[in-house]
Structure 1
Amino acid sequence: MINIFKLSTIELEALSTYRDVLETGSNFPKNFWVQEKDTNGIKTRCSIITRYCLETLEGLSPNDLPTLNLKQIKEKLVNWRLSGMIQLNFNNDILAILKNAYPNEFRDRILTEWMWSKHGLWENDNYIIEAVKVMVKREGITHVRDIPLLDWKKRLQKHGIYNVLSRFNWSIYELFNFVYPGKFHPADFRYKVKWSSDQSLENAFYYMHKIFKNKNLELDDILLLNTSAFRKLGLAAMLVTVFESSTFKAKEYYLYRTIGDKENRKELQNEIKAAKKRHFDENMIKRLSKVAQGKFIYNLHSNNVLYGYVKRHAKLRNMSIEEFIASYGFIYKSAAQDKKNISRETLWELRKKGMTYVEIAKELDSNPTTISQLCDRYFGGDPLIPRPISDYITVQEVMNKYHVDHKTVMKVVLENGFENHTTIRFRYLNKHEIEPAMEKYIQESKHHKFMVKRYAK
């Protein structure tokens, strides 16, 4: 609103005259408008009277003005008896009147000339460029390459400049190509791509190349694309319209820029077969690596899914499982073959040395499962387990029975030189030796009695 305390003398006099005209219904004094007709720069009287008319009499703020077109603003000025100013000082140029009344707002681009172009024809190129760039900035776009990602029809309507498309045959691409020359391709704006046009193949190639590049697809990845993959990449409409739903035709055009060429089709078929084989081999190596120990694969039967998969493909190639696995750089160790080559005495000697099943398997170039099965066959289990097992007791069982700790049990064993059998999982002690010794310890040990009494509470 106008603050009369900040107005100059000329502005106050102009307002006083204008109020007299409105209140008395008389005309403006003679030559009132002529005084500023040839003035360069801001016409002070016209400026303050225009602002008073729009802000005080009509109740419009500067931000409200773009909601009105120039014709509506002119009607309001004429209704408040400012037709003389419009004709004599501005030659019916309403935009010039606004720029004269609000120079600071136009300088700071709070108000811009293009805000009134949206109510009519967009004839000024600079207005179009500024309007579009302001819209892009308000939408939070910081990189030009991100512009095609949005639906600009809705955003043009949102910002009230949709009719700017009328100058560009309603084409989003032509609009942005005008504002950012050479930055885009028609296929960038997917919803405006004419797949049925004369340039549909060129657009399809460009769009596929753009998508493949953004997704970092290599040649093998492209060769292996199926219909579902094209759909996931957003290429379904192109595939149906341009290539008759044929992924093979799409690949041929993308790689060779031809459709239906016999030599290219034959070469493409061979490349696809080779890519499928490479993909299969890579997948097979990954699956075998998960169950391999180094370069060896043991006990493949325990993985039914992988075993069936390997067996099926080995049969398709007329190969044994060992040969099939060997073709991928692994060695398959079959338990059936290993059992024939490992004797009872060999196992016994190695186990007596304290070697675990895994260590024995490495020593004999076998696998732990085979060693475990052979021990079950030859010895009924671990060779180091004393027999009959009913005459022996584990350390844990002694601890539970007599309420002593592991250290105490082993102290009694070592002091008396009792039998001490260490297996893979347990330590076995002779019942006839350890039980009398533990009963004697319980009766004589004051420390044990104290601890039992203490924790019994």
Structure 2
Amino acid sequence: MKREQVIEVYKDVLEKRRKRFPNYFFVGNEGKKYMRYMTCYLLEQHLSISIVEIPFQVGANTLWSHRLRPPAMLYGWNYYEVIDNAYPGKFKPWEFQQTPDKYWDGEEGKRRAIEAVRYVIEEKMKIPMKEIPSQINFNFFKQHGLGGAFTLLGYSPFQIVEAIYPGVFRPWQFSHVPMNCWKNEEYIREAMDDFLFKQLRFSSYNEAFIQLKGSHFNNFQLTGLFQMAFGSRMNNVKKWIKNQLNNLDDEIFYVNH
């Protein structure tokens, strides 16, 4: 049956001139092709939804309320699979406002979540590796329909990125630092060393002790470090730097003896 004929049958069903689809209408690949014709007609012509708007405007009820549920059930399809049949590979399940039921469940759901985030980073947005810590934040997940992945993978941008790129980044590099990060002495030292010697380019702790100012933390968006690790007090920062100098002196003493 040609596309025009299939659409006429579907119109008759929609407008109740016909109670149901003909027997054996949805059989095998031919039936799937008819479903594709009908789905595209429904969304693009009958409902006037542009293709780019489909993930934002279409959910299960959109299809089921327009008589597509019975044929979908014949194939065991959820609403996303109906759309994917009509637009193969065009959309990802997580791009829709309504993610297919149980899509994020179990280990398979976790794998899907990781792949979804990786796809947006590498394929859709093409974010350079060095910019990942600054760009992957709460808004990133909301903007790209990845709320389910965000919830499943621990509510932490760092933890999610760590699952995708193990060992590549440190938690303190992210704009939304994980809870308790600044209670970890190792992370504080890593962050401070990066701040003092890579960003501010001090040549030594001695120079940092003399030159470092509270405004430097603001200028380099490290107010969280300043507040949480040092109580927003430069005296505490100076004390920390002095401890690093003492530790260096101790190391030199033990090496020489």
TM-score by length of 2: 0.75
Moved more, 143-152 or 181-190: 143-152
Instruction: Give the distance between the partners of 1:254 and 1:132, measured in 2 at CA.
Output: 38
Q: Which residue of 1 aligns with 2:173?
A: 188
What is the letter of the counterpart of residue 18 of structure 2? Answer: G
Q: Which residue of 1 aligns with 2:120?
A: 134
Structure 1 residue aligned with 2:194, among 210, 234, 255? 210
- Counterpart secondary structure, 1:224: helix
Q: Which residue of 1 aligns with 2:42?
A: 53
Q: What is the deviation of 1:166?
A: 0.7
Q: Deviations along 1:6-52, whole A, 9 cap, x unmatched?
A: xxx5333322322333341322122222x22xx4x992111111211
Q: What is the deviation of 1:204?
A: 0.6
Can you give the 5+ residue segments of structure 2 that lack an aligned partner in the other structure?
none
Runs ≥4 residues deviating over 6 A: none
Is this contact kept in 1: 2:55–2:96, CA < 8 A? yes
Instruction: Give the distance between the partners of 1:124 and 1:117, measured in 2 at CA.
Output: 19
What is the letter of the counterpart of residue 56 of structure 2? Answer: T
Structure 2 residue aligned with 1:85, among 40, 49, 71? 71
Instruction: Give the distance between the partners of 1:46 and 1:250, measured in 2 at CA.
Output: 68
Q: Which residue of 2 aligns with 1:441?
A: none
Q: Which residue of 2 aligns with 1:66?
A: 55
Is this contact kept in 2: 1:195–1:203, CA < 8 A? no
1:115-154 superposed matches below 5 A? 115-116=95-96, 119=99, 122=104, 123=109, 125-126=111-112, 128-134=114-120, 141=127, 143-150=128-135, 152-154=137-139
Is this contact kept in 2: 1:18–1:49, CA < 8 A? yes
Is this contact kept in 2: 1:243–1:249, CA < 8 A? no
Q: Find the structure with the greater CA-based Rg.
A: 1
Structure 2 residue aligned with 1:25, among 14, 18, 24? 18
Q: Deviations along 1:186-245, whole A, 9 cap, x unmatched?
A: 111143244576x52121111112212233221142242444365355555434543453
Q: Deviations along 1:327-371, whole A, 9 cap, x unmatched?
A: xxxxxxxxxxxxxxxxxxxxxxxxxxxxxxxxxxxxxxxxxxxxx
Q: Which residue of 2 aligns with 1:12?
A: 4
Please state if 1:100 is matched with 2:89: no
Is this contact kept in 2: 1:225–1:247, CA < 8 A? no
Is this contact kept in 2: 1:168–1:175, CA < 8 A? yes
Please state if 1:44 is matched with 2:28: no
What is the letter of the counterpart of residue 72 of structure 2? Answer: I
> Structure 1 residues 127 and 257 mapped into 2: Cα distance closer, same or farther (>3 Å)?
same
Q: What is the deviation of 1:85?
A: 0.6
Q: Between the two proteins, what is the percent identity of the paired residues?
A: 20
Is this contact kept in 2: 1:177–1:184, CA < 8 A? yes
Structure 1 residue aligned with 2:229, among 223, 227, 242? 242
- Counterpart secondary structure, 1:31: coil
How big is the alpha-carbon RMSD for the aligned residues of Structure 1 and Structure 2? 3.3
TM-score by length of 1: 0.45
Instruction: Give the distance between the partners of 2:151 and 2:171, measured in 1 at CA.
Output: 18
Can you give the 5+ residue segments of structure 1 that lack an aligned partner in the other structure?
1-8, 268-457
Q: What is the deviation of 1:183?
A: 1.5
